[in-house]
Amino acid sequence: MWNRAVIALCLIPLLAPCTAAAQSFDRAQIRLFKTLHRLPGALARYDYLQKAMPDLAKPDRIVAMQLLSSAECELGLYNQAILGFPLKMTPPAELVLPQASQWRAASAVDVISRLAADRRIVMINEAHHDAHTRVLALELLPRLRALGFDYFAAEALVDTDPGLEKRGYPTAASGTEYLQEPVYGEIVREAIRLGFTVVPYDVEGHVSTQARDIGQAENLYREVFARDAHARLFVLAGYAHIDKAKGRLGNVLPMAAQLQALTGFDPLSIDQTQFLETGKNHSGDYQQLIGRFRPKTASVLVNRSDGKVWSASPALYDANVILPPTVTVRSFGNDRMLNGEAVKNVTDASRMTLGSLTTMDWMQRPGWLSLEGARRHVAIDSSLCRMRLPCVVEATYADEPADAIAADRYAFVRPDTASDLYLRPGHYRLTVKGLGGKTLSQQTITVTGPRTESLPTSR
């Protein structure tokens, strides 16, 4: 579903119009890229796309849907991003889903760490509109560092921020739009804190998809292995760049295969994007896997007999990660209604299309934002916007400047709504910004202990 748009858009920084032109977009889509490129931030892009969507032709609307979901992800509207762009990848030919009688779910962090013990390169992919696919990279960083991995490469970084490692945190100038999303920022902070050498490797400019993958591999080889014969590298990439053979990118030989040819090292490639939560299809491959294995955390499937790890496409990658669902009826606030009737303990998100629930603007944020309890939830509400909606509320570490990537962020688009920020214990600068990026208010807050924090409201 939507593979042309998905593949093209997910291979580029979303708002770089010169690169967009290289990906065979039509004139209307290129105009859309250029318009969005001029807007002052994700909130303005979100507002523009919401208003423009009904008037777009169907192919342009599909492109706009992904752009909107990427903006929602950046704004902390994570479940809305999943529902707004229900990405279903084309299944491998003759796919046979595993049965629970022969396979069991196991911690992805534990299994990947074990498999990585004798590898020189580990690659994991992510879906740019689904920040849940970034959490595993954050969890793997300390485990891989303990194994001796010493380089971390991220697709979202650019090579124009030489002070990044010394500074210890990313800013808006450190990378593409994807890096603006708070979890991605936390990944970069953690990599620096753990002592990784952080490597930007993506290709800039007007290039074809094949040239981009070749350039990515050459950049990684030059910046890592050509300089350090003993290097061990952890790569966070988008989608099929981690594949070790042609297939999901058509006739393009992906970056992982290119790097393997340059180094002679077989990467451990981990896929998280083949089976994604969409919230709308109760019979899809993802929902079948969830129904059979019921993972509570990021999981891989291990054979009960021989201990092998399941891959839907073993020629392309070594394992599939199955993430637990986050979009449920319980995501929609306290009004759990289906076809006018109250429901309890409903977790099948596909049923949400059958009845009238509360609006998506009232959706609760996903529980994975707590990062296994490392972050506390801080209650906020739309009164902070001072009647200027939409607005975005973001928390920045108090010892970092205003242009640092926020620790967390949430956009209010309707009045009389409430939500939470998820923050580690510490001191923060809480800033509320309007549609044009103007600061509406600012305060300092301190997050302590495990209890829920509440902020004073602005009336």
User: pLDDT tens, position by position, for the chain (459 residues)?
Assistant: 444 434 343 435 544 433 333 456 778 888 898 899 899 999 999 999 999 999 988 888 889 999 999 999 999 999 999 998 888 888 998 899 999 999 999 999 999 999 999 999 999 999 999 999 999 999 999 999 999 999 999 999 999 999 999 999 999 999 999 999 999 999 999 999 999 999 999 998 778 999 999 999 999 999 999 999 999 999 999 999 999 999 999 999 999 999 999 999 999 999 999 999 987 666 799 999 999 999 999 999 999 999 999 999 999 999 999 999 998 666 665 444 444 444 444 455 555 444 434 456 667 899 999 999 999 999 999 999 999 999 999 999 999 999 999 999 999 999 999 999 999 999 999 999 999 999 999 999 999 976 556 565 553
Helix (H) / strand (E) containing 380: strand 376-381
pLDDT of 283: 72
pTM of the model: 0.90
* CATH number corresponding to 373-454: 2.60.40
pLDDT of 354: 41
pLDDT of 327: 83
Q: Which burial class, exposed, middle or buried, applies to 420 when counting CB atoms under 10 A from its CB (0-12, 13-18, 19+)?
A: buried
Helix (H) / strand (E) containing 210: helix 209-220
DSSP E strand boundaries for 62-139: 103-107, 121-126
Query: Cα separation of 41 and 187, whole Å?
Result: 21
CATH 3.40.50 matches 103-320:
yes
Residue-by-residue DSSP string for 328-372: -GGGSTT--EETTEE--S---GGGGGTS--S-GGGPPPPGGGGTT
**Any idea where the domains of the chain sit in the sequence?**
3-84, 103-320, 330-360, 373-454
What are the pLDDT digits (tens) for 300-349?
999 999 999 999 999 999 999 999 999 866 666 544 444 444 444 445 55
pLDDT of 23: 53
Helix-then-strand count for the chain, H and E? 13, 17
Q: Are 235 and 197 in contact (CB under 8 A)?
A: no
Query: Cα separation of 31 and 362, whole Å?
Result: 32
Classify each residue of 190-218 as buried b or exposed e, where b means 16 or more C-beta atoms within 10 Å of its C-beta. Answer: bbbeeebbbbbbbbbeebebeebbbbbbb
Interacting residues of 141 by C-beta distance below 8 A, sequence separation 6+? 152, 187, 190, 191, 194, 196, 234
Q: How far is CA 12 from CA 42, 72, 123, 329, in A?
A: 17, 18, 18, 34
| Torsion-angle region of 122 (φ positive above 0: left; ψ -120 to 50: alpha; else: beta) | beta
